[in-house]
Amino acid sequence: MKIEGRNSVRELLKTGKTIDKILIANGMRGTESEALLRDIKKSGAKFQFADKAVLDKESDTGRHQGYIAFVSDYKYCELEDIINIIKSKDECLVVVLDGVEDPHNLGSIIRVCECAGADGLIIGKHRSASVTDTVMRISEGSANHVKIAKVTNINQAIDELKQNGIWTYALELGGGDIYKSDLKGKVALVVGGEDSGVNKLTLKKCDGVVTIPLCGKVNSLNASVATGIGVFEVVRQRRV
């Protein structure tokens, strides 16, 4: 896997994960670049300088900003790892994605979850985007700081969450006003795919449905935008 861009490489260094190599474009100057180079040297990661043309050829995104790190493929955690973290907590937030297939949406959602301090993110092995180079770049390296579990069956995962005292709410049309719903305590938000929304059977598994009230003529939001609104409403309620 290639991690591209200053911010993504910087976040990668913070994780302490093994880095195979970092390519740095010749002639990188400025305070940010100098600080990043110091961090790279301090980490002990292998690095080498190369012409920008070499990085352009290696880059999958065309936006490497002079830095490309090479690491092993992303390692997902187990669902049990997330559950074990939240068992001793009075409050927790887990996000479950049911059929989000757009890598850009997944990357944005991961970034939202990290910024909100979510305890974990659950995605499916089927009908779902995976953590790729593109997703890592869109998340600005946030995928290195969020526990992400990849499960075979989303409905079974929801059952396990409920068995461990977590209230699950589908973020979907036709439910109660999210701003009037009680989202304190141990909560999981289930977000559906870009076109189909939350699966009908999955809806039945959830303890409730919460809806973001819309005031315009368009009756739906982008999955990552909806997730951001939902996640930070949970954060807001905990601070009231």
Q: What are phi and psi of 205, to 5 degrees?
A: -70, -30
Compare 190 and 220 and report the one with higher pLDDT.
190
pLDDT of 141 reads: 84
Helices (H), 70-102: 79-86
Nearest to 24 by CA among 56, 47, 4: 47
| pLDDT at 104 (0 to 100) | 93
Burial class (CB in 10 A: 0-12, 13-18, 19+), 177: exposed
Bridge-partner residues for 95, per DSSP?
A: 121, 189
Query: ∠ CA 32-15-79 to the nearest 5 degrees?
Result: 140
pLDDT at residue 218 in the model: 78
CA distances from 202 to 46, 55, 112, 126 (A): 46, 44, 23, 15
Tell me what pLDDT residue 72 has: 79
pLDDT of residue 63: 85
- One of 3.40.1280.10, 3.40.50.1000, 3.90.470.10, 3.30.9.10 is the CATH number of 79-239, namely 3.40.1280.10
Whole-number pLDDT of residue 186: 97
Fold of domain 2-71: 60s Ribosomal Protein L30; Chain: A; (3.30.1330)
Beta strand residue intervals within the chain, DSSP E:
2-4, 19-25, 47-50, 67-71, 92-98, 120-124, 148-151, 167-177, 186-192, 208-211
Domain regions of the chain by residue span: 2-71, 79-239
Identify the pLDDT of residue 17: 80
Burial class (CB in 10 A: 0-12, 13-18, 19+), 23: buried
What is the model's pLDDT at position 207?
96
The DSSP element (H or E) to which 232 belongs, if any, is helix 223-239
pLDDT in tens, 78-128: 999 999 999 889 999 999 999 999 999 999 999 999 999 999 999 998 888
Q: Does pLDDT of 16 surpass 90?
A: no
Distance CA(221)–CA(69), nearest Å, equals: 34
Query: Which amino acid does the sequence have at 155?
Result: N
Q: What is the pLDDT of residue 74?
A: 84
